[in-house]
A and B are shown apart, each in its own frame.
Chain A
Amino acid sequence: MDPILDRLGLTPDEWTAIALSLRVAAVATVASLGPGLAVAWLLARKRFPGRGLLDGLVHLPLILPPVVTGYLLLLAFGRRGTFGAALAEIGIVLSFRWTGAALACAVMGFPLMVRAMRLSLEAVDRRVEQAAATLGASPWSVFLTVTLPLALPGVLAGAVLAFAKAMGEFGATITFVSNIPGETQTLPSAIYTLTQVPGGEGGALRLTLISVALSMAALLASELLARRLARRLGAG
């Protein structure tokens, strides 16, 4: 173990929880980026039947009790769930695995990510996109060279929000994949466990401080990035 980190006095189990949380949150965020951007773009730019339904579905995890979301995930992606059984056949098991924790975190963070991305996509000047098209850019090129770069601050903000949410997700995760040390015991689950055992207060406090520090770092990083981008656009 790194001697500097060792000085924090963390036990190996606590380290495992932190590393797992970071991995789960990173995977959840990265995996949501594509679908999040696609859904945000659909909601920001397209009028189609079922748009309201899609909007509602995306926002559902925001208003449902996390336990309910977790239970629904269990029903759908559990070993005998609707999709879980099929996925298990091709070797993908989500229930009681860290990948399942990532799925739960991704679902819970999805509405936050989509909201931020959608707002920034709506703010992109359509007239500049039109100008790009008159210069010969296909719709796909316009998206990659104009829309996405201009919406980037919002896209990053959405990613950071989803990451922070994933770092803190508890209810859906513990319902869907339980609280298995080393496999699905993320930072919040570990804190919860420590508060439930005698003499766990010290560990709970250490992990709480780590949790606060990680969230603050993510927020600051996104703020810095957004400011740098704004300067690049000449708006700052």
Chain B
Amino acid sequence: MSLDLDVSLTRGAFRLDVAFRAPAGLTALFGRSGSGKTTVIDCLAGLVRPDRGRIAVAGETLLDTDRRIAVPTHRRRIGVVFQESRLMPHLSVRQNLVYGRRFSRGREEAPGLAFDDVIGLLGIGHLLARRPAGLSGGEGQRVAIGRALLSRPRLLLMDEPLAALDAARKAEILPLIERLRDGAGIPIVYVSHAVSEVARLADTLVVLEAGRVAAAGPAEALLRRGELGPDHAAQSGSLLDMVVAGHDSASGLTHLSGVAGDLSVPRLDRTVGTPVRLLVPARDVLLATRVPVGLSARNVLAGTVRDLTPLGEGAVRVTLDCGGAALAARLTQASVRDLALAPGRPVFAVVKSAAFDPQGIGTGRGLGAVEI
């Protein structure tokens, strides 16, 4: 299952010229507002007709302006979760959820996505008799996700589904999206302008800038190399696959372990043995050439310098190989010179526990082979 998209359109002064290929899994469309993320979603859903282009999902052509093919929205089998829930106000929650059913008869049901499964997954069983007007923002969005899933789509589009929600509601829905990504087997295109969401969810990342693709590729590599556009280059970081090793209630920390070594992070509400995926911000990584002693930071990872990339303005990205995992550190040129850092040199990376954003720590899913 893959998605191929190559579209261009002009609307007034805005020009969109986007092409990318998304493999299975969750593909994040990342960029500032006005970069064309939502327009790409609308093109995929058939709500906007590009001037020129081609869209194919799992080998089936949905749009080909040269061949005059344009499958209408209702025959695309693409589920959409919008920024606002867009529930039908005259129908109950249950009626909203089953709305798509009548149009998808005869389609085989994705395993684990029967009505009761979806209700259970989203925790909306108690809302079934309610009207959309009586739902909170988070409840409405969960119903909207359920409604899209129950229409048996072959691709799910999520256009900043958390944008209108507060932090607590986001924390409630992010794990659901992870479970969808890992369990439902439906490819997802997820629009976001939050690095923490992308770090947590994305397998593949497509960075949009002013209607063009600025970067596209595996999320792990793009995040580590800071290819997130000018606004977010400073938020670059490395994704590490780890497992919850234990909790220390006295210190309020959770211990994680992985191939890179052991890390302590602010207490995570996950059971021991749960795989997690962690963003280590490059600017929060310090390097030392000897084992640091007398240090307040708790996290020390041993590794070898792989390469050095000048970032401009006197900054350098140092990429380490920590037991097979890639870890990037953002240092000044002066530090690199003082420490005489060069490829092959063994070093120790130091990360403060407080540097980890619990919102950005997601459920793990193999990052695959990491090319360092």
Contacts and interface: CB of A to CB of B under 8 A. Distances in A.
Given A131-B82, A134-B78, A149 B90 contact: yes
Contacts of B90: 149-150, 232-233
A65 B136 CA distance: 54
Interface string A115-148: 0000000000101101111111111011001100
Contact of A136 (B86, B104, B133): B104
A133 to B, nearest CB: 4
Interface in B195-233: none
B183 to A, nearest CB: 22
A34 interface: no
B133 A135 contact: no
A135 B47 contact: no
Contact of A234 (B80, B99, B132): B132
A228 to B, nearest CB: 12
Interface in B74-94: 74-80, 82, 84, 86-90
A1 interface: no
B73 interface: yes
A37 to B, nearest CB: 17
Nearest to A233: B89
A144 to B, nearest CB: 12
B301 interface: no
Most chain B CB within a 10 A radius of its CB, from A132, A133, A150: A133
A128 B103 CA distance: 17
B103 A136 contact: yes
A233 B88 CA distance: 9
Interface residues of A, number: 23
A235 interface: yes
Contacts of A131: 80, 82, 86-88, 144
B74 A133 contact: yes
Interface string B81-123: 0101011111000000001100110000000000000000000
B99 A135 contact: yes
B45 interface: yes
A130 B47 contact: yes
A142 B102 CA distance: 13
B89 A134 contact: no
A149 B92 CA distance: 13
B148 interface: yes
Interface string A159-183: 0000000000000000000000000
B100 A127 contact: no
Nearest to A134: B80
Nearest to A136: B103
B317 interface: no
A146 B88 contact: yes
Given A127-B82, A128-B89, A136 B131 contact: no
Contacts of A133: 46-47, 72-74
B151 interface: yes
Contact of A134 (B79, B84, B134): B79
B330 interface: no
A141 B102 CA distance: 11
B84 A127 contact: yes
B89 A136 contact: no
Given A127-B82, A234-B89, A135 B131 contact: no
Interface in A215-235: 232-235
B88 A136 contact: no
B306 interface: no
Nearest to B133: A234
Contact of A235 (B104, B133, B144, B151): B133
Contacts of A234: 89, 131-134
Most chain B CB within a 10 A radius of its CB, from A130, A139, A142, A232: A130
Given A130-B47, A135-B103, A233 B133 contact: yes
A150 B100 contact: no
Nearest to A232: B90
A127 B45 CA distance: 13
A135 B79 contact: yes
Interface in B46-89: 46-47, 72-80, 82, 84, 86-89
13 contacts: A128-B86, A128-B88, A130-B47, A133-B72, A134-B47, A134-B151, A145-B88, A150-B88, A150-B90, A233-B89, A234-B89, A234-B134, A235-B89
Ranked nearest first, the 6 interchain pairs of A and B with the lowest CB-CB distance are A234-B133, A136-B103, A135-B100, A131-B86, A133-B73, A134-B80
Interface of B: 45-47, 72-80, 82, 84, 86-90, 99-100, 103-104, 131-134, 144, 147-148, 151
Interface of A: 125, 127-128, 130-139, 141-142, 145-146, 149-150, 232-235
